[in-house]
Amino acid sequence: MFAVIPSVTCAGDVASAIVRQVTGTVGFFHHQGCCQLPPDLDRVTETLISLGCSPNVGAALIVSLGCEGTDTERLYARNSVVSPKTTVAPRSTSLSAT
């Protein structure tokens, strides 16, 4: 299974578009990531990390806006087999919202 994990609820629309257009993907949607206290953000980050590290997940795509309180660097690092400094992701991509 290929997991699509939005790091914040606002990224859910983009993650949903990816899931609709890419066969074999499963979205892990939630309503967290902004306007939370640090202990709550830590729990959200750890929960998202656990989802991505599930033995049922073969790969995970983390969809982030960059403005959320969720610790996206830790989320990426714990769900990645490649160093974040060696990969380059495009800042924007075009997906049809249909």
Q: Given a cut of 90, is residue 2 above it in pLDDT?
A: yes
Q: How distant, in Å, are the alpha carbons of 83, 86, 87 from that of 28?
A: 23, 26, 23
Exposure string (b/e) for 5-24, b if CB count within 10 Å is 16 or more? bbbbbebbebbbbbbeeeee
Question: For residue 34, what pLDDT is reported?
Answer: 81
Q: pTM higher than 0.85, yes or no?
A: no
Structure confidence at residue 68 as a pLDDT band (50, 70, 90): confident
Q: Given a cut of 80, is residue 44 above it in pLDDT?
A: yes
The pLDDT tens digits for 12-37 are 999 999 999 999 999 999 988 788 88
Give dist(CA 55, CA 15) in Å, integer: 21
Q: What proportion of the chain, given as a percentage, has pLDDT over 70?
A: 82
Q: What proportion of the chain, given as a percentage, has pLDDT over 90?
A: 32
Question: For residue 86, what pLDDT is reported?
Answer: 39
Single out the residue of 60, 70, 64 nearest to residue 90, CA to CA.
64
